[in-house]
Structure 1
Amino acid sequence: MQDSKNNNTIEQNVNTEFLKNEDIQNKDEQIQSQELIKLEEQIESKYKVYKLRYFIIIIFILGMLQISMIQNSFSPQAAQLIIVYKKSNFIYNLTSLIHMIVHVPMSFPANFVVEKYGTKIGNTICCFFALLSCWTKCLINYNFNYAILGQFFVGCANPFMINSISKFSCNWFYPSQRAAVTSLLSFFSTVSGIIGLLIPGIFFSKYDASKDNQETFQEGKNLTFNLLLVQAIVVSVFAVLNIIFYRDKPLTPPSYSANVQREDFQKSLKLLVKNKTYILITITFSLLYGSFIDFAVILGQVIAPFGFGSRDTSIMSLICVMSGIIGSIVLIQILKKNFQYKRLMGLCIIFCILSDFMFYFMLKTRIYVLVVIPEIILGFFIIPIVPILLEFANEVCFPVGEAIISGFLYSIAHVVGFLLGSLFSLIIDTFKNKEESAFWCVITFASIFILSFITIFFMKQSLNRTNAEKNALIQSSENISSSSKI
């Protein structure tokens, strides 16, 4: 009995001590977060930003929109155009997947150009490839291979724009605004492609391949050409605006880190490879970003067996995007207050897993309103993960350049996206029962989310960039104090 009482006493003491330690840790984290917020306010008082940045960010967003418009030109109407152009699911889906694999080799020159010569040169090269892409695709009715070639040029263009996101926000905005700006730009780079799905959905909303001429499918081919021509004209306008008005950086930097000399290209690669947390971030980012892009590509093919068409796909994608806007605003504000990158990412992925399973069960009801509910949840939580991971990578890997850090994240993500996209195409082609193929696609997405969730536990949160800003501020204050004493 005495031993039992002693054991209970010891256990109570251990539990009490554990709770005390946990409270102390939480208080320390709160204090650290408050100190970081005060630090950012002090930094902003020592640097200047320019009103021109708002105009430049609009131009930059238009540059990303031009890529997004032509990235998924063929996805919403996939079920119809596979019949019109008489192609297999795999060959047809190459129009949406080939840019992912091309992105990888092009990231090396893109990273080098953006880091050494600035985002202006990278932006101009991007516009050139975008113009080449959209006008090449207009030749699709002469040969379907022109569509694949045009998407190849999209893959060439994308790295020069997307790898500039973090560097752009660092060049033009205060440290306290960087996460929000990176979130905004990452949001557009990730989901504006889904906005691009809306236009094809409108063009093909009333088209039915079974009612077209079964030999020529001329109506379907005419609609495709008209769609690609409209996209080419819009992209041309956006490209010209970027070439004329876009600027690399302001006259003076907005922060200490914006003016820091970064590591050279080769040394940066070595540092990134040796950084275990960056490797884990890359795995998580690749799985989440790649699978989300694939989801946009195959969504129409997944929901078609349940009675939903091209218009439903476009509307569903748009709703997912709008939810993502709200999610980005809410979650980035939370991140600015507590700087808890890992916890926030874990929370987001848990809801992604839940929404994935809910999506399949709602599909079985064949009620559109119910199917949209899990899409709202998915968009709210998966879209903000991209900027959170980008900012986390920049913190962990500082002083490696932002273009190199984000560039390789997107490179690996596009490889993974291509491989996963090929897997999803194989799943869709393998099962004759298309409802069964939809089930296995959902299971695959859930498995990807679970694997991403596991990797978070092994990451180490090191706020190197924020600490560098803090040290620079302390050093500056000490220098001012020394000068005043003299």
Structure 2
Amino acid sequence: MAEPKQELEQSFFQKEENINESDLERIEENAEKNFRVYRYRYFNLFIYVLGMIQISIMQTSFSPQAAELIQVYKKSTLIYNFTSLIHMIVHVPMSFPANYIVEKYGTKVGNTIGCIFALIACWIKCFVNYSFNYAILGQFFVGCANPFIINAISKISSNWFYPAQRAFITGILSFFSTVSGIIGLLIPGIYFSSYTTNNDDPQYTKGKKLTFDLLLFQAIIVSLFAIVNLIFYKDKPLTPPSYSSKVQREEFGDSLKFLIKNKTYLLITLCFSLIYGSFIDFAVILGQVISPYGFGTTETTISSIICVASGILGSVVLLRLLKKTFQYKRLAILCIISSTLSIILFAFMLQTELFALVLIPCIVLGFFIIPIIPIMLELANEVCFPVGEAIVSGFLYSISHVIGFVLGSGFSLIIESGSDKKSGAFWCICTFGCVFTVGLFSVFLMKQTLNRTNAERIQEQERNKLSTEDFYEENNVNN
């Protein structure tokens, strides 16, 4: 390990302290004075978001219309939900090569590999009416593509933006990562809004045709986004935007050892996995949860849109607050408590079978749960600096996909094992509340150690010290 890097680690590792607003202002002034950012960063960000969208719309291809397609393709709930959960399993082993490639060779190489997998996935799924196994195989390749793109979220904000903007940009990207999945729910909802198996023939010809039309439309969209991404996306600007973005990062093997031994990172991983994994599961099984209460594909889609719209507002409010205060733990606690209460309220509002009342907890849930994702991502990168962002974020997402798959399978079993569909749905929602509670306890055990921001502050202080010494030296020479 390089000697300057050892000195850097000794100077700011294991310091737990809050960063006040004046420190943040000085760090930002130092970055703007000594570094530069490029206009292309916003266009590059847009291209990257398209890459996330192409993955997310494929992940949820079969979710909103689950109740109908389970009958159309004559599959059990567990097997059918496998189309929405298999990518969580595949994400884990693929994260090891993805994290290594993105960190060593850059986000451009990672994005290229991800786009190639996405192209394979979207066209394979178009053969679903020949065999439902093609749907599962296509989702397998979606899982291969996902880590090469999504694991680079924090690295992109670090490569292209000033320190004060990193948390907000990570939040925007994390938000789009989640929201794009909801967009993926919206498209199937439109296609199947007027479809019911009761109005189809015994072979479900109409349902199968709608499924093919949906997957073909998605394949065309994914292909267009992938081509744009392959042509225009760039890894990093000509010059770095901050001191921490140019610091030499840990080697891949050393990074893994550090992450495994870091207690706070392990707690962040637990919390992130439970919250993010279960939220993705919630999107997958939402239609199955509300259908026993008389709600169909249209209500599932509306609930998802309302949740996302509320999440937009929540992200703006809470990430601005994070930018000013850097109070990661307090904001995470606030968000998880509110999310837990909203999911419990959701269970009881369903009993009324009034859709307007069901939307109330959806609004609260979206407002608080979506911002948790960027808050945890940024805290992890602060705690683990100078480990590379792609590695830190990548393994967070990897473990969350494993937990998400396990929880998703469990939620499916709970729904099926209830004495009736309503009781199964009710206990499934209550289980979500229990999972959120475990995530909450893990936050209380974390240490808020802002290593990356401390590195920026120390660098700013050293620059000021050198400037002062140069000033006095020049005066002595003149005298």
Q: TM-score range by the shorter chain?
A: over 0.9
Is it true that 1:203 corresponds to 2:203 in the alignment?
Answer: no
Please say which of residues 37-46 and 183-192 is displaced more in the overlay.
37-46
Is it true that 1:332 corresponds to 2:319 in the alignment?
Answer: yes
Please say which of residues 314-323 and 285-294 is displaced more in the overlay.
314-323
Is it true that 1:318 corresponds to 2:293 in the alignment?
Answer: no
Shift of 1:480: 2.6
- Determine helix, strand or coil for the equivalent of 2:256: helix
The amino acid of 2:75's aligned partner reads K
Shift of 1:263: 0.3
* Aligned residue in 1 for 2:4: none
Is it true that 1:243 corresponds to 2:205 in the alignment?
Answer: no
- Provide the C-alpha distance between the structure 2 equivalents of 1:70 and 1:457, rounded to a whole number of angstroms: 36
Is it true that 1:164 corresponds to 2:186 in the alignment?
Answer: no
- Determine helix, strand or coil for the equivalent of 2:34: coil
Aligned equivalent of 1:419, options 361, 382, 406 = 406
Aligned equivalent of 1:45, options 30, 33, 45 = 33
Percentage of matched positions with identical amino acids: 65
CA contact (8 A) 1:328 1:384 kept: yes
**Residues 201-243 of structure 1, C-alpha deviation per residue, up to 9 Å, x if partnerless?**
00000000122112x1000000000000000000000000000
The amino acid of 2:58's aligned partner reads I
Shift of 1:192: 1.2
Is it true that 1:178 corresponds to 2:178 in the alignment?
Answer: no
- Provide the C-alpha distance between the structure 2 equivalents of 1:286 and 1:99, rounded to a whole number of angstroms: 15
The amino acid of 2:360's aligned partner reads I
* Aligned residue in 2 for 1:116: 104
* Aligned residue in 1 for 2:248: 261
Shift of 1:118: 0.1
**Residues 330-373 of structure 1, C-alpha deviation per residue, up to 9 Å, x if partnerless?**
00111111111111000001111110111011111111111011
* Aligned residue in 1 for 2:341: 354
Shift of 1:142: 0.2
CA RMSD of aligned residues (A): 1.2
CA contact (8 A) 1:195 1:321 kept: no
* Aligned residue in 1 for 2:8: none
CA contact (8 A) 2:62 2:188 kept: yes
* Aligned residue in 1 for 2:393: 406
The amino acid of 1:41's aligned partner reads E
The alpha-carbon distance between structure 1 residues 296 and 244, as it changes in their structure 2 partners (threshold 3 A), is: same
- Determine helix, strand or coil for the equivalent of 2:127: coil
Please say which of residues 474-483 and 155-164 is displaced more in the overlay.
474-483
- Provide the C-alpha distance between the structure 2 equivalents of 1:431 and 1:357, rounded to a whole number of angstroms: 18
Shift of 1:432: 4.4
- Provide the C-alpha distance between the structure 2 equivalents of 1:400 and 1:191, rounded to a whole number of angstroms: 28
Shift of 1:35: 2.2
- Provide the C-alpha distance between the structure 2 equivalents of 1:139 and 1:29, rounded to a whole number of angstroms: 56
Please say which of residues 472-481 and 61-70 is displaced more in the overlay.
472-481
* Aligned residue in 1 for 2:365: 378
The structure having more radius of gyration, on CA atoms, is: 1
Please say which of residues 36-45 and 217-226 is displaced more in the overlay.
36-45
Aligned equivalent of 1:127, options 98, 101, 115 = 115
Aligned equivalent of 1:149, options 132, 137, 140 = 137
The amino acid of 1:171's aligned partner reads N
Shift of 1:30: 8.3
Number of residue-to-residue matches in the alignment? 458
Is it true that 1:444 corresponds to 2:435 in the alignment?
Answer: no
- Provide the C-alpha distance between the structure 1 equivalents of 2:104 and 2:455, rounded to a whole number of angstroms: 22
Alignment of 1:181-192 (within 5 A): 181-192=169-180
- Provide the C-alpha distance between the structure 2 equivalents of 1:394 and 1:246, rounded to a whole number of angstroms: 24
- Provide the C-alpha distance between the structure 2 equivalents of 1:218 and 1:202, rounded to a whole number of angstroms: 18
Aligned equivalent of 2:440, options 446, 453, 474 = 453
Is it true that 1:295 corresponds to 2:282 in the alignment?
Answer: yes
Structure 2 residue ranges without an equivalent (≥5): 1-15, 475-479
Aligned equivalent of 2:53, options 62, 65, 72 = 65
The amino acid of 2:178's aligned partner reads T
The alpha-carbon distance between structure 1 residues 288 and 30, as it changes in their structure 2 partners (threshold 3 A), is: closer
* Aligned residue in 2 for 1:278: 265
- Provide the C-alpha distance between the structure 1 equivalents of 2:37 and 2:59, rounded to a whole number of angstroms: 33
Shift of 1:29: 8.1
CA contact (8 A) 2:27 2:163 kept: no
* Aligned residue in 1 for 2:6: none
Shift of 1:37: 3.2
Please say which of residues 45-54 and 150-159 is displaced more in the overlay.
45-54
